[in-house]
Structure 1
Amino acid sequence: MKSPVFTWHLLMPRYWPIWLCVIPLFYLLSRLPWSVQHRLGTALGRFIYKVIGQRRRDTETNLALCFPEKSAEERQWMAEDVFVQGGIALFETANAWFKPKTYYHRKVTIEGLHLLQAAQAEGKGVLLLGAHYSFVDLCGLLAIIFFQVDTVYRPQNNKALEYFIVKRRLRIYDYQIDHDNMRLLIKALKENHVVWYTPDQDFGLKQGVFAPFFGIQAATLTAPRRLQKINDSVVMFIHFRRHPTLEQYEILITPPLADYPTDDVVADATRVNQQLETLIRRSPTQYMWFHRRFKTRPDGEAMPYPKKKRHLKQELAEAATQTKENQ
């Protein structure tokens, strides 16, 4: 992949915080020893859990829906640990961007690599399905210790931050594929690349169908079944897990998904969700539960999440306008 083009527009004052604060900060964070990173990340995660109410409530809602068998106390601990894992992941992101790639060579193990190698030997593309784990940026760096991979991602709204992230990820991925750039995604699979794709977020029903995820109907992307047909690509799953305290990581690759896709789009989406759920349960608090996974609901079913402040303000403004018109 070619390096992103730098333009003078990226030096406008609105982007100065990125160049003067964010980038230097991440570089400095990457210089800290792991023991310090772990302690600071833990403290940061607990602080964010207390002060960012909306994300905390969304996380607690997701956990209540997906783990009804657990007590309220257990789910509260899980919710806080989700944020702790996210705080630690901030430092792991800095490491992924700035530490030497060889730093992690003795800190990661992999299971199922032979399955991926066998799939690659077939001379087809490999669609490697995964989920959004807290240290998602580091996952790519861990993977390329064993195999080359492309990634599908959503670009940042801030252009300077987008330029910087793409630039740093060049040392990890062959292709960084905008999730709207289907042409490049098809090209990668036709070139027999391994493409890491995360179909675990709610993009509505224009791109998906309802299928159960942790027992809850969730809008589920149907793109994997369409992408499989490109070059008869092999579909597999990947899971990343961090040791609770040590700087050690595990990668698990599952056997290829057999008899996929079928003629039943809902059954296919259900199979994908079930496999993702099984993998997420291996280390549940390392998953990004603060996404609104269940925001799209079947007709007549209310969204389970509290309304965001901006939506409440908008409703109040509309109500005030309506009152004035009626007077």
Structure 2
Amino acid sequence: MFSWHFLAPRYWPVWLGLGAMKGMAALPFRWQLLAGRQIGRWAGKIMRRRRRIAAINLALCFPELSSAQRADLLEEHFAALGIGLFETAMAWWAPDERLYGLARVEGTQYLEQAMARGKGVILLTGHFTTLELGARFITWRHSFHAMYRSHKNSLYEAVMRRERERRSRLPPLPHEDLRGLLRAFKRGRAVWYAPDQNHGLRNSVFVPFFGVPTCTITATSRLAALSGAAVVPYFPRRLSGTAGYEVTILPALENFPSGDVASDTQRINELLEHHIRQAPAQYLWVHRRFKTQPPGSPRIYPL
């Protein structure tokens, strides 16, 4: 992982940030929540572009809420983002002994049943602020590959790959490595996958997400069809106060894939929406989920 060029001055801020994160992982959980909440709210005031994106997303997805309610949800979202920094630090560097008392994982029998088929499993989830820590809790039950998109900063990318592989006990797989994915399924392995980000028009269809026609990648249905892998959804959630976390593993999707890619993709969106609504502040609203629009539709986000 280590390369001497990572000692160049341009990487020093990243080293400082990683060092700070490692220190954050050692703090008591109550302190992490308090500090993360404050950092997130502070960041929400200076990250004006991301704040505007999140506000637009919330207005599109929760039109039934009043302006005041959406404003409160926006503040809670940035607080959750701040806590997410500490959760990532814990996921990478906290020992299991510190985390065992923080999480309850339900539905592990569904994952075991799907793995017993021997055709592999797509561990399906969404981009929640608890993403890294939720995946760490899954590693207590089973090893898995993680599908990912490369990070622009090569030092952060190298550290992220190392820590994810160290915890999940299998190397991460880039999105574009279709052969690697199919080999993993053929070996009966689990692959972590979150299909809820905008990847453009290629291999995507427009299906509703919170009632908004949304450009959504069809890879979940296509991978299941090519490999025969079961699709097992799971969703992490941070509980109120210092109660810790809950990870819910659901039964493998039945009659999936159905042969209708658009219908399968909409089914995934509906599943994600249902679980997002249970803790809406903990979803990644700062992502430009609705960036790609049908031809002739107005732009959703400002330049």
TM-score range, shorter chain: over 0.9
> Is structure 2 residue 108 aligned with structure 1 residue 113?
yes
Asked whether the equivalents of residues 148 and 174 of structure 2 are also in contact (C-alpha less than 8 Å), the reply is yes
**Structure 1, unaligned stretches of length 5 or more?**
308-327
**Structure 2, unaligned stretches of length 5 or more?**
none
Which segment drifts farther, 284-293 or 252-261?
252-261
Q: Mapping of 1:129-278 within 5 angstroms? A: 129-173=124-168, 174-278=170-274
Q: Percent identity?
A: 39
CA distance in 1, matches of 2:8, 2:109: 49
Secondary structure of residue in 2 paired with 1:50: helix
- Report the residue type matching 1:197 in the other structure: Y
Question: In the TM superposition, what is the alpha-carbon distance from 1:248 to its structure 2 partner?
Answer: 1.1
Structure 1 63/292 Cα, relative in aligned 2: closer, same or farther at 3 Å? same
- Report the residue type matching 1:27 in the other structure: K
CA distance in 2, matches of 1:102, 1:132: 26
- Report the residue type matching 1:91 in the other structure: F
Question: In the TM superposition, what is the alpha-carbon distance from 1:262 to its structure 2 partner?
Answer: 2.4
Deviation string 1:176-202 (CA, Å, 9 cap, x unpaired) is: 111222222122111111111000011
> Is structure 2 residue 65 aligned with structure 1 residue 42?
no
- Report the residue type matching 2:32 in the other structure: Q
Question: In the TM superposition, what is the alpha-carbon distance from 1:8 to its structure 2 partner?
Answer: 2.2
Secondary structure of residue in 1 paired with 2:263: helix
- Report the residue type matching 2:187 in the other structure: E
Question: In the TM superposition, what is the alpha-carbon distance from 1:247 to its structure 2 partner?
Answer: 4.9
Question: In the TM superposition, what is the alpha-carbon distance from 1:90 to its structure 2 partner?
Answer: 0.7
Secondary structure of residue in 2 paired with 1:204: coil
Secondary structure of residue in 1 paired with 2:167: coil
Secondary structure of residue in 1 paired with 2:101: coil
TM-score by length of 1: 0.89
Asked whether the equivalents of residues 294 and 303 of structure 1 are also in contact (C-alpha less than 8 Å), the reply is no
Question: In the TM superposition, what is the alpha-carbon distance from 1:148 to its structure 2 partner?
Answer: 1.8
TM-score by length of 2: 0.96
> Is structure 2 residue 18 aligned with structure 1 residue 13?
no
Question: In the TM superposition, what is the alpha-carbon distance from 1:119 to its structure 2 partner?
Answer: 1.0
- Report the residue type matching 1:102 in the other structure: E
Which segment drifts farther, 209-218 or 23-32?
23-32
CA distance in 2, matches of 1:109, 1:147: 15
Deviation string 1:6-29 (CA, Å, 9 cap, x unpaired) is: 33222222222223x122211211
Q: Which residue of 1 aligns with 2:121?
A: 126
Q: Which residue of 1 aligns with 2:64?
A: 69
Q: State which structure, 1 or 2, has the greater radius of gyration over its C-alpha atoms.
A: 1
CA distance in 2, matches of 1:290, 1:267: 27
RMSD of aligned residue pairs (Cα, Å)? 1.3
CA distance in 2, matches of 1:265, 1:87: 36
> Is structure 2 residue 83 aligned with structure 1 residue 56?
no
- Report the residue type matching 2:288 in the other structure: R
CA distance in 1, matches of 2:255, 2:91: 36
Q: Which residue of 2 aligns with 1:91?
A: 86
- Report the residue type matching 2:108 in the other structure: L
- Report the residue type matching 2:67 in the other structure: A
Question: In the TM superposition, what is the alpha-carbon distance from 1:73 to its structure 2 partner?
Answer: 0.7
Deviation string 1:163-221 (CA, Å, 9 cap, x unpaired) is: 12222222212121112222221221111111110000111111211010010000111
Q: Which residue of 1 aligns with 2:22?
A: 27
CA distance in 2, matches of 1:167, 1:123: 27
CA distance in 1, matches of 2:151, 2:69: 34
Deviation string 1:106-155 (CA, Å, 9 cap, x unpaired) is: 22112221111111111121111110010211122111112222211112
Asked whether the equivalents of residues 105 and 137 of structure 2 are also in contact (C-alpha less than 8 Å), the reply is no
Question: In the TM superposition, what is the alpha-carbon distance from 1:82 to its structure 2 partner?
Answer: 0.7
